Amino acid sequence: MLIERRKELRKQKRHGFRKAGIMIRKAVEKLIGNQPMSKEDFLEILSGYGDRAWTELLREEAVKVRKRHYGLKVFTRGLIEFTNYCKNNCYYCGIRKGNSHAVRYRLTEEEILGCCEEGHRLGFRTFVLQGGEDPFYTDEKMVGIIRKIKETYPDCALTLSLGEKSYESYRLFREAGADRYLLRHETADEAHYRLLHPLSMSLAHRRQCLYDLKALGYQTGAGMMTGSPGQTMETLAEDLMFLQELQPEMAGVGPFIPHHDTCFAGEPAGSVELTLYLLSVIRLLLPRVLLPATTALGTLDPLGREKGLAAGANVVMPNLSPVRDRKKYELYDNKICTGEESAQCLECLERRIEAAGYEMVSERGDF
């Protein structure tokens, strides 16, 4: 009797596995075939995380897709972190307003232009102006800086990453010559968004900003951290649904890393492996997307950025900020490349990229 029952249970389990296997296979086929995905499809895809065979298959397909669109090219973006003042208080971020231990700095227009000059000399053809939400830089000041950079370097693309602004501000910046805008959505799940941000911020506004940016003709970047506190496969499936809906030209995905002066100081860091898995999924979901192997990935794993490229990424963003201030732009602990001169950093990255079998290029690398 007992033996019969055990046999029956084993049969049911086998059937269950087979059924699960069929479901995930279907979802993977849809993703590889670039068909519209449902949230359930994404949940199936995410259930394959941790399974060697699915991970390997998605990685191989992602690399094929990237190769088809971009060959072996890796694009560089020179990152200028021009202010670490921020009026927001995102719970995960080291430069949040509430962190009284953060040593604050701002670059002058001349210093920003100095970074561009050095960057241009080194071969960069995209500059990324990134900062906290700092009211010191009024629209008028930003427009002046954007005009000056575009006038001096008409061969370069200019990316902004200044957080949430009004449609009107985004319009002014676009008219002044800005080409691209990075604004990670952070999470597409309401409850998860609330866990990560104070009440003064809202997911609805974040999404609106991203749609405004798209409407204004910016090449737009969204994205999220992996392993942020409270993240689940459900919330990740929603992130993927949102990326599918928004169709961003760029996507930034890196692991969450705790910062010692935040509410999440004691939380575990995100997983490198899950980040790599997501990079492959996003490459397949958005075949032509410009996808960086992030500094956060390189911080958690000495070969993180190389692994990111091997998973489907095609962008790196070395730092052009003055070495004097680098450590102060501390979103999370132990950030790499804060002691190196820009030229050293670029050389190091170039060596790494070429050793990994790719070709670092100095094109603008538009979508």
- The interface region with ligand 5AD, picked from 138-146, 202-210, 214-222, 252-260 by CB under 6 A, is 252-260
Q: What three-state secondary structure class fits 318?
A: coil
**Quick one: tokens of 42?**
């994404």
Length of the chain: 367
- Rounded Cα distance between 239 and 84, Å, is 27
In the complex, least distance from residue 347 CB atom to ligand FES, rounded to whole angstroms: 8
Whole-angstrom Cα distance, residue 257 to residue 331? 9
Kindly report the backbone phi and psi dihedral angles of residue 219, in degrees, each rounded to the nearest multiple of 5, phi listed first: -70, 120
**Do residues 291 and 282 lie in contact, with contact meaning Cβ atoms separated by under 8 Å?**
yes
Out of 331, 345, 349, 360, name the contact with ligand 5AD by CB under 6 A.
Answer: 331
296 binds ligand 5AD (CB under 6 A): yes
Given 20, 191, 303, 348, the residue binding ligand FES (CB under 6 A): 348
Extract long-range pairs of 188-193: CB within 8 Å, 24+ residues apart. 188/224, 188/235, 188/238, 188/239, 188/241, 188/242, 189/234, 189/235, 189/238, 189/239, 191/230, 192/228, 192/230, 192/231, 192/232, 192/235
The footprint of ligand FES on residues 323-342 (CB under 6 A) is 337, 340
Q: Which does 276 bind (CB under 5 to 8 A by kind): ligand 5AD, ligand FES, none?
A: none
Window 20-79: residues binding ligand 5AD (CB under 6 A): none
* CB closer to ligand 5AD, 48 vs 229: 229
Site string for ligand FES, 55-94 (x = CB under 6 A): ----------------------------------------
For position 134 contacting ligand 5AD by CB under 6 A, the verdict is no
The item of ligand 5AD, ligand FES, none sharing an interface with residue 331, based on CB under 5 to 8 Å by kind, is ligand 5AD
Residue 162 near residue 131 (C-beta atoms within 8 A): yes
The answer to whether the CB of 353 falls within 8 A of the CB of 293 is no
DSSP per-residue string spanning 294-314: -HHHHHHSTTHHHHHHHHT--
Query: Cα–Cα distance between 120 and 127 in angstroms, integer?
Result: 9
Rounded to a whole number of angstroms, the minimum distance from the CB of residue 319 to ligand FES is: 7
Give 204 or 348: the residue with its C-beta nearer to ligand FES: 348
Full strand arrangement of the beta sheet holding 157-161: 78-83, 126-131, 157-161, 180-182, 219-226, 250-255
Tell me the CA distances in angstroms from 104 to 67, 80, 124, 329, one per residue in order.
Answer: 42, 15, 27, 8
Query: For residue 124, how far is the Cα from the chain centroid?
Result: 20
Residue 82 found at the interface with ligand 5AD (CB under 6 A): no
Residue 340: which of ligand FES, ligand 5AD, none does it interact with, CB under 5 to 8 A by kind? ligand FES
Amino acid identity of residue 249, one-letter, is: E
Quick check: 358 binds ligand 5AD (CB under 6 A)?
no
Residue 345 contacts ligand FES per CB under 6 A: yes
Which residue lies nearer to ligand FES by CB, 90 or 291? 291
Indicate the residue among 186 and 350 with the shorter CB distance to ligand 5AD.
Answer: 186
DSSP state of 12: H
360 contacts ligand FES (rule: CB under 6 A)? no
Size of the site for ligand FES (CB under 6 A): 6
Per-residue x/- track, 122-141, ligand FES (CB under 6 A): --------------------
- The residue within the footprint of ligand 5AD, chosen from 37, 62, 65, 93 (CB under 6 A), is 93
Amino acid at 8: E
**Residue 54 contact, options ligand FES, ligand 5AD, none, Cβ 5-8 Å cut-off depending on partner type:** none
Contact residues for ligand 5AD, defined by CB under 6 A: 92-93, 184, 186, 225, 254, 256-257, 259, 296, 331-332
Residues at the site binding ligand FES, with contacts judged by CB under 6 A: 318, 337, 340, 345, 348-349
